[in-house]
A and B are shown apart, each in its own frame.
Chain A
Amino acid sequence: MSIILDGLKYLAYILIFPGFLFCFLSGLLLCGIDRKLVARMQKRVGPPILQPFYDFFKLLGKETIIPVTANRTVFLIAPLVGLAAQVVLQLFIPVFSFNAFHGVADVIVILYLLLIPALSVILGAASSGSPYSGVGLSREMVTILAVELPLVLVLLSVAKAVGNAMGTGLCFSLTDIVNYQLSHGSLITKLSMIPAAVAMLLIIPGETGSHPFDAAEAETEICEGMLAEYSGKPLAVYKLSHAVKLLTMTTLFVALFLGGIGGGIERAMMTSAIGGAFCFLIEIIILFLLCTCLVAVCISFVHAVTARLRIEQLFKYYWTVVTGLALISLVMAWYGL
Chain B
Amino acid sequence: MSIQHFPICAIMAYFLGAFLIVIFGKNRALRNVFGFLATATPLCLLAALVKPIMLGSDVIAYWMGNRVPAGGYAIGIALEVDALGLFFGLLIATAVFVAMLYSFSYMSHDDNEPQYYTLFLMLCGGVMGFVLSGDLFNMFIMIEILTFAAVALTAFRNTANGALEAAFKYLVVGCIGSSCILAGTIMLYAQAHTLNFAQLAAFLPGHLNRATIIAYAMLFIGFCTKAFIVPFHPLAADAHGAAPAPVSVLISGVLTKSGLYGIIRLTYILFRVMNLGTVQFWLVFLGSVSMFVCVTMALAQHDFKRLLAFHSISQIGYVLTAAGLATALGVSSGLYHAMNHTLFKGLLFLCAGAVLHETGTTDLGKLGGLSKKMPHTTILFLVGAFSISGVPPFNGFASKWLIYQATYQKAVESGNIGFLMCTIVALVTSTLTLASFVKVTQSVFFGQLPKEYENVGEVSIGMRLAMGILALLCILTGLFPGFVTTYLTEPAARAVFGTNTYVNAMMGTGYAQGFGLTDILPVSFQAAGVWSPISWLCLLMIMLLAVAIVAVSSKYDQVSALAKAAAAAEAAETKAGPRFGSGALAEAKNELFFGGEESVYSQVGGDDLFWGFKHNWRHYFSFMHELHSGIVNDYALWGVIALALAMLYAMIIL
Chain A interface residues toward B at CB < 8 A: 10, 14, 64-74, 76-77, 80-81, 84-85, 87-88, 91-92, 101-105, 108-109, 111-113, 115-116, 119, 122-123, 126-132, 134-135, 137-139, 141-142, 144-146, 148-149, 152-153, 156, 159-160, 163, 169-170, 172, 215, 223, 228-229, 310-312, 314-316, 319, 330-331, 334
Which among B413, B420, B431, B603 has the highest number of chain A CB atoms within 10 Å? B431
CA of A127 to CA of B447, assembled, Å: 6
B589 within 8 A of A: yes
Which among B420, B427, B591 has the highest number of chain A CB atoms within 10 Å? B427
- 9 pairs of A and B residues whose beta carbons are closest in the complex: A311-B612, A80-B546, A126-B446, A169-B412, A84-B542, A142-B612, A134-B604, A71-B371, A76-B550
Q: Is the CB of A85 within 8 A of B539?
A: yes
Which chain B residues border A316 with CB–CB below 8 Å?
A: 616
Per-position 1/0 for B593-607, Cβ under 8 A of A: 111000011111000
A-B contact count (CB 8 A): 218
Q: Which of B601-647 contact A (CB under 8 A)?
A: 601-604, 608-613, 615-616
B441 within 8 A of A: yes
Q: Is the CB of A84 within 8 A of B558?
A: no
Q: Given A126-B447, A156-B424, A229-B592, do A172 and B405 touch, yes or no (CB 8 Å)?
A: yes
Which chain A residues border B611 with CB–CB below 8 Å?
A: 138, 142, 311-312
9 additional contacts, CB 8 Å, given A64-B556, A138-B610? A84-B542, A109-B392, A116-B391, A127-B446, A131-B604, A142-B613, A156-B423, A215-B612, A315-B612
CA of A319 to CA of B372, assembled, Å: 38
B538 within 8 A of A: yes
Q: Is the CB of B449 within 8 A of A73?
A: no
Chain B's interface: helix, strand, loop or mixed, by majority? helix
Which chain B residues border A68 with CB–CB below 8 Å?
A: 558-559, 590-592
Q: Given A67-B558, A142-B613, do A137 and B442 touch, yes or no (CB 8 Å)?
A: yes
Which chain B residues border A229 with CB–CB below 8 Å?
A: 592-593
Q: Given A111-B427, A148-B428, A156-B424, do A134 and B447 touch, yes or no (CB 8 Å)?
A: yes
Q: Given A156-B424, A311-B611, do A144 and B431 touch, yes or no (CB 8 Å)?
A: yes
CA of A65 to CA of B408, assembled, Å: 48
Q: Is the CB of B424 within 8 A of A66?
A: no
Q: Is the CB of A122 within 8 A of B438?
A: yes
Which chain B residues border A135 with CB–CB below 8 Å?
A: 604
Q: Is the CB of B434 within 8 A of A119?
A: yes
Q: Is the CB of A76 within 8 A of B553?
A: yes
Q: Which of B487-539 contact A (CB under 8 A)?
A: 528-532, 535, 538-539
Partner of A141, one of B382, B408, B438, B445: B438
Which chain B residues border A215 with CB–CB below 8 Å?
A: 612
Which chain B residues border A119 with CB–CB below 8 Å?
A: 391, 434, 438
Instruction: Name the CB-closest residue of A to B397.
Output: A112
B637 CB, min distance to chain A CBs, angstroms = 33
B435 within 8 A of A: yes
CA of A111 to CA of B389, assembled, Å: 13
CA of A14 to CA of B542, assembled, Å: 10
CA of A229 to CA of B549, assembled, Å: 20
CA of A172 to CA of B609, assembled, Å: 34
Chain B interface size range:
35 or more
Instruction: Name the CB-closest residue of A to B554.
Output: A72
B15 within 8 A of A: no
Q: Is the CB of A145 within 8 A of B529?
A: no
Instruction: Name the CB-closest residue of B to A147.
Output: B431
Which chain B residues border A74 with CB–CB below 8 Å?
A: 371, 378, 446
Q: Which of B275-328 contact A (CB under 8 A)?
A: none
Q: Is the CB of A149 within 8 A of B372?
A: no
Q: Is the CB of B532 within 8 A of A84?
A: no
Instruction: Name the CB-closest residue of A to B618.
Output: A312
A60 CB, min distance to chain B CBs, angstroms = 13
Partner of B442, one of A126, A146, A149: A126
A259 CB, min distance to chain B CBs, angstroms = 21
Which chain A residues border B602 with CB–CB below 8 Å?
A: 131
CA of A87 to CA of B591, assembled, Å: 33
Which chain B residues border A115 with CB–CB below 8 Å?
A: 391, 431, 434
CA of A235 to CA of B431, assembled, Å: 26
Q: Given A67-B558, A77-B546, A80-B549, do A223 and B593 touch, yes or no (CB 8 Å)?
A: yes
Q: Is the CB of B539 within 8 A of A312?
A: no
Q: Is the CB of A72 within 8 A of B593?
A: no
B644 CB, min distance to chain A CBs, angstroms = 34
CA of A14 to CA of B589, assembled, Å: 37
Q: Which of B424-458 contact A (CB under 8 A)?
A: 424, 427-428, 431-432, 434-435, 438-439, 441-442, 445-449
Which chain B residues border A72 with CB–CB below 8 Å?
A: 556, 558
Q: Is the CB of B590 within 8 A of A67?
A: yes
Q: Given A66-B590, A126-B447, do A138 and B441 touch, yes or no (CB 8 Å)?
A: no
Q: Is the CB of A149 within 8 A of B556?
A: no
CA of A307 to CA of B427, assembled, Å: 31
30 sampled A-B residue pairs with Cβ under 8 A: A14-B538, A66-B557, A66-B590, A68-B591, A69-B369, A71-B371, A72-B558, A74-B371, A80-B549, A80-B550, A84-B545, A88-B542, A92-B535, A104-B529, A109-B392, A122-B438, A123-B382, A126-B442, A128-B446, A134-B442, A137-B438, A141-B438, A141-B609, A141-B610, A142-B611, A144-B434, A145-B610, A148-B428, A156-B424, A312-B616
B64 within 8 A of A: no
Q: Is the CB of A69 within 8 A of B448?
A: yes
Which chain B residues border A92 with CB–CB below 8 Å?
A: 535
Q: Given A101-B535, A145-B613, A148-B428, do A163 and B542 touch, yes or no (CB 8 Å)?
A: no
Q: Given A76-B556, A77-B547, do A170 and B408 touch, yes or no (CB 8 Å)?
A: yes
Partner of B412, one of A142, A163, A310: A163
A222 CB, min distance to chain B CBs, angstroms = 10
B621 CB, min distance to chain A CBs, angstroms = 13
B462 within 8 A of A: no
Instruction: Name the CB-closest residue of A to B448.
Output: A129
CA of A85 to CA of B449, assembled, Å: 30
CA of A14 to CA of B424, assembled, Å: 32
Which chain B residues border A85 with CB–CB below 8 Å?
A: 539
B648 within 8 A of A: no
Q: Is the CB of A126 within 8 A of B438?
A: yes
Q: Given A129-B592, A229-B592, do A142 and B610 touch, yes or no (CB 8 Å)?
A: yes
Q: Is the CB of B434 within 8 A of A105?
A: no
B395 CB, min distance to chain A CBs, angstroms = 13
Which chain A residues border B413 with CB–CB below 8 Å?
A: 169
Which chain B residues border A65 with CB–CB below 8 Å?
A: 589-590
Q: Given A84-B542, A137-B442, do A152 and B427 touch, yes or no (CB 8 Å)?
A: yes
CA of A144 to CA of B559, assembled, Å: 34
Instruction: Name the CB-closest residue of A to B370.
Output: A71
Which chain B residues border A330 with CB–CB below 8 Å?
A: 420
Q: Is the CB of B604 within 8 A of A138?
A: yes
Which chain B residues border A70 with CB–CB below 8 Å?
A: 558
Instruction: Name the CB-closest residue of B to A112.
Output: B392
CA of A119 to CA of B465, assembled, Å: 27
Which chain A residues border B434 with CB–CB below 8 Å?
A: 115, 119, 141, 144
CA of A137 to CA of B397, assembled, Å: 23
B650 CB, min distance to chain A CBs, angstroms = 31
CA of A122 to CA of B549, assembled, Å: 21
B434 CB, min distance to chain A CBs, angstroms = 7
Which chain B residues border A112 with CB–CB below 8 Å?
A: 390-392, 397, 401
B560 CB, min distance to chain A CBs, angstroms = 9
Instruction: Name the CB-closest residue of B to A314.
Output: B612
Partner of B592, one of A69, A105, A314: A69
